[in-house]
Structures are given as C-alpha cells and as structure tokens.
Amino acid sequence: MSVTESVAVVRVEDLHKRYQAEGPEAVAGVDFEVLEGEIFGLLGPNGAGKTTTIGTITTRVKPTSGRVLVDGVDVSVDPVSAKLRIAAVPQMSNLDRALTALENLTFHAAYFGAGRRERRERARELLARFGLGGRENDHVNNYSGGMAQRLMIARALMHEPRLLILDEPTTGLDPQSRLFLWDTMVDLRERGTTLILTTHDMIEADRLCDRIAIIDHGKIIALDTPTRLRRLLPAEHGVEVTVAATEDPTEAFTAVSASERSEARPAGEGRWRVRLYGESNGDAGGLPEQALHATQRGGLELIELKRLEGSLEDVFVHLTGRELRGADGAMVSGRWSG
Amino acid sequence: MSAVGATGSARAVPAATRNVQLRAFTALCGRDLWVTVRHEFGSFLAQALLQPIFLLFVFGRVLPEIGAARVGYGTQLLPGVMALTLVLTALQNTALPLVIEFSFTKEIEDRLLAPLPVAAVAVQKILIAAVRGVIAGLLILPLAALILPGGIHVHGPNWAALIGIFFFGSLAAGAMGLVLGTAVPANRISVAFAVVLTPLIFTGCTFYPWIGLQHLRWFQVFTLINPLTYVSEGLRAALTTLPHLAGGWIALGLGVSLVLFGVLGTRLFIRRAVD
C-alpha cells in the first residue's frame, strides 16, 4: 500500500439524507473518511444508502444535514471545486452516444480545460492502456458492455481526478473484463488515485479494498479491513470435509473431540460436505488431523479437506441478515453457496 | 507501493475560477456544435426543415394554384413559417435531448460533473438549441425563394428588429423546451408533445396575422398567451409591410416568455439534476 500518511481525500461527517420531508431517511448519520491512495469499499444490500452516499460526494445529491468534504472542499458549498477533483463511473453506460470513443475522451478533457494537443495525446494513451486502441473511431453504440465500461474509466481518468468513484463496476461483465478491471483498479491505486468502490461482489471487495464500510438502513454497521471484518464472525473457524457417501456421514465424525459442533449437507453426485467447527489446533490434536482420521476410520473416501474461514459474504450476511431487500434483493445467497 | 504512488499523480487541482467555468461552458457548446455539424447535420436538417418545406409548398403554392387561397398568401405566410421553424426547432432541440439524456442514455451525467454550476448546464442547453433554431429559421429564406411561386418579396427588412426577434425568440423557445424536457417524465413525453405542440402551432399567428383576428376577439386575446405569436408578429413586422401587433407588445411578450420559461426551466433542471 502506498499510504505513507493518512490524508483524508473524502470526509463524510454525520451525513443525513431524506428525499421527502415525511419519508424515511435514506442515509441516517454516516461518518467515514477515505484516505489518500486507498481503495475504499462501500458494501450494503440494495436500498441501504450506498448510492445516496455516493451521490452526495459527486454533488448529485444534496445532504439534508451533515457535511461532505472532498480534498478539503465542502461539496455543498463549492460543488464546482469538488467536481474538479472527482470522477465517477456509473454502473450503466452514460457515454455520449453521438460521439466516437476518442471524442468521448477528448471532449470530456475539454470540459476540464485541457488543451487540444494534450487531450488527444492523453486520450490515445488511455485508449491503448485500456485495450481500445484501433477502435477509437467507432461510435460507442457499437461497443460491448465490457468495452463501454473500460471507456468510461478511461474517460474518468482524462482529467486526472484525485478521487475516482466506481459504482458496481464489474456487474454484468465477463470474467476477462472483470479481471482486467481489478488489475486496473490496483494499478490506479499504485499511481496514487484514491478509489471508492461500491459492489455486491464479496470476492471483489475482499480482493481489492483496503478498507470496507458495510452500510445498512442508512447507517454504517462495520468499517474495517477485510481481514478484521472476517473476525467479526462468532464461530466460523474449523474445517470442511467433502467425502463420497450415499447417506449422512456425520456419525463417523462424532469422535472428533476438537469439534464443538458439526453440520452435514449433501453436495450432490453422491457426496456430502461436513463442517466441523472449532479451533484448528485444540488440546486434543489438530482439527484437520482428527477429521482426516475420522474419515479413514469411517471408511469414507476423502474428496476434499479445507480450512474454514468466514468469508466476507458470511460477515455480510451475519451483519445485515438474510431477508431480501427491494425488488431485486436476491443478492444475499446462503453461506452454502460456495 | 512505489514512490510515485506515495506522492501520487496528484497534479495541482486548478481553482474553480470563472475562467475554468467559462472554458467548461465553451467546451460543452463546442461538443454540441461539433455533433450538429459532424454527426447529425442530415437529421438536424430533416427534423427542422421538412415540416416548413411542406407548409410552404402546400399553403404557398398548391392552395393558391388550385384557387383555394389568394395568390400572394405565400408572402403573408413566410414570416409565420419562419417563426414556427425557429420556435419548434429551438424547443425540440432542448426538450427531446433532455428527456433522453435524463432518462435513457444518462448522457447528461458527464455534463453535470463538468466544472461549472448546474444552472450553467441548463443555460448552455438553451443556447445551443437557440443556435439550431436560428440556423433553421434562416434556411427558410432560400427555401421559400425556391418553393413560393413568385419567390420571396421582402419589403425593406428592419434588420435590427429581425435580429432581435431571432435572438430573443429562439432563446425563449429554447427555455420553453427546457421546461417541457424537465417537467415531463419520459414515459409521458409523446403525450406531452402532442398536447403542447399542437395548440402552440395553431394558436401562434403563423397562418394568419394577429390583426386579422379582430372579428374573432376571444381568439385574438387567446393567442397572446402563446409565445410563438410574438415571434410570428415580430417577423411579420420586420419583413413585411402588413399590419401587425405593436412593437412594444412584441418586445414585452418575448421578454416575459424568456424570463418566465428561463427561470422556471432552470429551476426544474436543477431539481432534476440534484436530488
């Protein structure tokens, strides 16, 4: 990480937002800081207040109360100065469809005062960096979803923003595009750009974010590094044994003394998964060793043995509950989904 | 990770001076003019000129030739068709793009994040639509010269009045488009266009002079709420010797329309752009 000193690029102070006077609070008192050079993740179920929070930073949502400072500039007081410091990449394409890819970049830079030559050079450089060289004169209507996403990020970088905000950047992209974007985000951080990322993708958040705020019902319910967030899970340590078995093999594992409790579920194709919860290195020998013994003693064929560590998704579900949110709230899958 | 990373690529962020904002405004205009000329010129001309071409042809040529209208009706009609083209082009060129950009393509977002106040984005929309309106309005002259039986007969044009009417008329129409484009939800826009444009076209003194309505007093008064009336009558005053609405009323009508729709439209735009 390149954070040498903790300079806050974004400071959100006691932010409240109510869209209608009598309506509920979309954001109900949010405080956080985004430090220079970090990737900051905003996670939350649909309707939790992520988009509203992002909207206040990008000057598109006026706070009901509280303050948002970008690079020391109060966004409500001086939105134009704030806009000089930020760039936002939305989930859905908002590219200028009347223009070619190259023109999308050069005109954007022109809005920010770049000279003709400077913007053409920078545009070509960014198009090449984002794998869009040779397609610069295409109209963006002919771009695929992944290409449009890359072009939007290239456009956002045209004016060298201090803060780049990405709203669910990899939703709906193919694996190649997703990996490319992940690499891009890491690269940007290394070049000193601060990033805010909203996502439903726990793997993405875990892999990329330096710190994550989990937001629900308009409030931040947890804010920490991915590693520390995982520790919030009460008892998710242990091992998972996958064995070939036609019926529930739990019986075979009753003698595992290091296990505090166990669960078994069929895994299809004549296999069962047994989870044994407990500390890996207990007094009575290691949990993995005991599990392995039990498998052999029970005459079960071992398919896979792995250490259980609560995933970020487990943390998320643990903190925000399992009920569905909004019209398309089916994002929280169970912990057996892996 | 690297030393470069620690110091960042942070170039000095310029202050949001008037100059920065003016450059952003100019660049937005530049983008729109570029698109008009380079990418949409054909569709712009078709959208703006097809209707007046047929109006001039049917009312100015066909009807007089079959005896359904007086010979010379075309000359009377010319200021009205110019006004109609000017107003409709400016109005549609703000309203339609706004509806599309706010609802479907979200293209407006890149403009709203450009370093200038949100209200300036609205003003810029009006300005460019007005420019398009003026171009379309001016193109009516050569078209009329080709289509009307005896060409065009302009009597001692009052240039100052002509420029004034074009300037304020197109801006007022652009502002009306701003109101329409921001007040109406996207799924209602086709209905809104029919409900707004039809009466606008037919009560705007385009096909008849305002003075001629003396015997239809209630309708004559009614036409005064239509901003198009002032543009039609203004061009009638500037281009012909026909009797027309008094100059003071024309100036007042245009001024009130511009201020009213400009303020209302900008407010609606801001409400749409910032939650």
Cβ <8 Å between B113 and A4: no
For chain A, give the mean pLDDT.
85
Contact A59 B24 (CB under 8 A): no
Q: Which of B7, B9, B113 sits opposite A83 (nearest CB)?
A: B113
Residue type at position B227: P
Q: What share of chain A is helix, strand, coil (3-state, %, to 5)?
A: 30, 30, 40
Q: How far, in Å, CA of A325 to CA of A47, rounded?
A: 7
- Answer yes or no: is B257 within a domain: yes
Is A80 within 8 Å of B14 when comparing Cβ atoms? Answer: no
- Total domains in chain B come to 1
Angstrom distance (rounded) from CA A205 to CA A225: 10
Mean pLDDT value of segment A275-299: 77
Considering the domain boundaries, does residue B108 fall inside one? yes
Domain limits at B107? 17-273
Q: Is B195 helix (H, G, I), strand (E, B) or coil?
A: helix
**Residue B9 maps to a domain:** no
Chain B residues in contact with A4 by the CB 8 A cut-off are 6
pLDDT in tens, B29-47: 999 999 999 988 999 999 8
A238-308 has CATH 3.30.70 classification = yes
**Closest Cα in chain B, distance from residue A160 (Å):** 8
Give yes or no for B195 touching A (CB within 8 A). Answer: no
How far is residue A308's CA from residue B103's CA, in Å, rounded to a whole number? 46
By C-alpha distance, the chain A residue nearest B19 is A113
Please give the pLDDT value at position A226: 86
Domain boundaries, chain A: 8-230, 238-308
> Tokens 């990008």 belong to which residue?
A58
Cβ separation of B105 and A83 shorter than 8 Å? no
> Which chain A residues are Cβ-neighbours of B107 within 8 angstroms?
94-97
d(CA B44, CA B36): 7
The pLDDT tens digits for A101-145 are 999 999 999 999 999 999 999 999 999 999 998 888 999 988 988
Rounded to a whole number of angstroms, the distance from the CA of A103 to the nearest CA of chain B is 9
Cβ of B13 within 8 Å of Cβ of A162? The answer is yes
8 A C-beta contact, residue A30 and residue A143: no
Q: Is B11 on the interface with A (CB under 8 A)?
A: yes
Measured between alpha carbons, how far is B272 from A137 in angstroms, rounded to an integer? Answer: 32
Buried b (16+ CB within 10 A) or exposed e, A28-37: eebebbbbbb
Taking 60 as the threshold, does the pLDDT of residue A320 lie above it? yes
d(C-alpha A119, C-alpha A128), whole Å: 14
At residue A324 the predicted structure's pLDDT band, cuts being 50, 70 and 90, is low
The helix (run of H) or strand (run of E) holding residue A2 is: none
Residue B139 has pLDDT above 60, yes or no: yes
Tens digit of pLDDT for each residue in B68-124? 888 778 878 899 999 999 999 999 999 999 999 998 889 999 999 999 999 999 999
B174-224 pLDDT per residue, tens? 999 999 999 988 888 889 989 999 999 999 999 999 999 999 999 999 999
Pair type for strands A301-308 and A211-216: unpaired
Q: Is B6 a member of any domain? A: no
Task: With cut-offs at 50, 70 and 90, classify the pLDDT of residue A328.
Answer: very low
Distance of alpha carbon B220 from alpha carbon B253, whole angstroms: 14
Six token digits for residue A281: 């290195």
**In-domain check, residue B224:** yes
The residue ranges of DSSP E strands in chain B, in sequence order, are none
CATH of A8-230 among 3.40.640.10, 3.40.50.460, 3.40.50.300, 2.60.40.4070: 3.40.50.300
Tokens of B152: 């065009």
> Residue B67 corresponds to which tokens in the numbers above?
């005896």
Distance, in angstroms, between B240 CA and closest chain A CA? 40
* SS3 of residue A14 by DSSP: strand
Q: Mark out the alpha helices in chain A (DSSP H runs).
A: 50-57, 79-83, 101-111, 116-129, 145-157, 175-190, 202-208, 226-230, 287-297, 312-320
Domain contains B102: yes
Torsions phi, psi for A15 (to 5 deg):
-75, 130
Axis crossing angle, helix A145-157 with helix A116-129, rounded to the nearest 10:
140
Mutation site, B109, B110, B118, B121, interface A, largest A CB count within 10 A: B110
Q: Which two tokens stand for residue B146?
A: 């080709």
> In Å, how far is A223's CA from the nearest CA of chain B?
23
Q: Which strand (E) or helix (H) includes residue A25?
A: strand A25-35
